[in-house]
């Protein structure tokens, strides 16, 4: 009996990324809080690797750098605020 098999090989995207490294999930543990007088407050989780804000919650991988994300600790994420480096610090005379 002859069994024919298709030789099509498809590599799932996750496997592809895994082969490229980034296989260890990094915990998402920061959340960026934006305050807006128009829309109110908005918060976005931050990629632990490249520090960009993530467009969607609970994505498997970072859009930008492909880092695998671990959302287990996201409820305890530390709130950070944008622009802390160039915050208006001292009053100029
Ligand atoms: Zn990233």
CA 56 to centroid of ligand 1, rounded, Å: 12
Quote the number of domains for the chain. Answer: 1
Higher pLDDT, 91 or 79: 79
In a domain, 87, yes or no: no
The whole-chain average pLDDT of the chain stands at 81
Structural domain span for residue 64: 13-80
Cα 66 to averaged position of ligand 1 atoms, centre (Å): 6
CA of 65 to the centre of ligand 1 (A): 4
Q: How far apart are CA 15 and CA 9, in angstroms?
A: 12
What band does 61 get if pLDDT is binned at 50, 70 and 90? very high
Looking at per-residue pLDDT, the higher value among 70 and 89 belongs to 70
Taking the centre of ligand 1 as the mean of its atom positions, its distance from the CA of residue 54, in whole angstroms, is 8
- Best CA proximity match to 25, nearest among 69, 65, 83: 69
pLDDT score at 41: 87
Indicate the burial class of 69 (C-beta count within 10 angstroms; 0-12, 13-18, 19 or more). buried
- Domain membership of residue 25 (yes or no) is yes
Q: pTM of the prediction?
A: 0.63
Note whether residue 7 is domain-resident: no
Do residues 17 and 64 touch, judged by C-beta distance below 8 A? no
| pLDDT grade for 64, boundaries at 50, 70 and 90 | very high
When pLDDT is averaged across residues 1-5 and rounded to a whole number, the result is 63
How many angstroms separate the CA atoms of 81 and 30, rounded?
A: 10
């Amino acid at each position: 009996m002859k069994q024919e098999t298709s030789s099509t090989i498809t590599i799932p995207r996750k496997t592809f990324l895994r082969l490229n490294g980034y296989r260890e999930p990094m915990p998402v543990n920061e959340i960026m809080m934006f305050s807006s007088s128009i829309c109110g407050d908005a918060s976005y989780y931050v990629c632990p690797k490249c520090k960009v804000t993530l467009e969607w919650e609970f994505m498997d991988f970072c859009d930008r750098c492909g880092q695998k994300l671990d959302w287990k600790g996201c409820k305890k994420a530390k709130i950070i605020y944008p622009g802390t480096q160039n915050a208006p610090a001292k009053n100029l005379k």
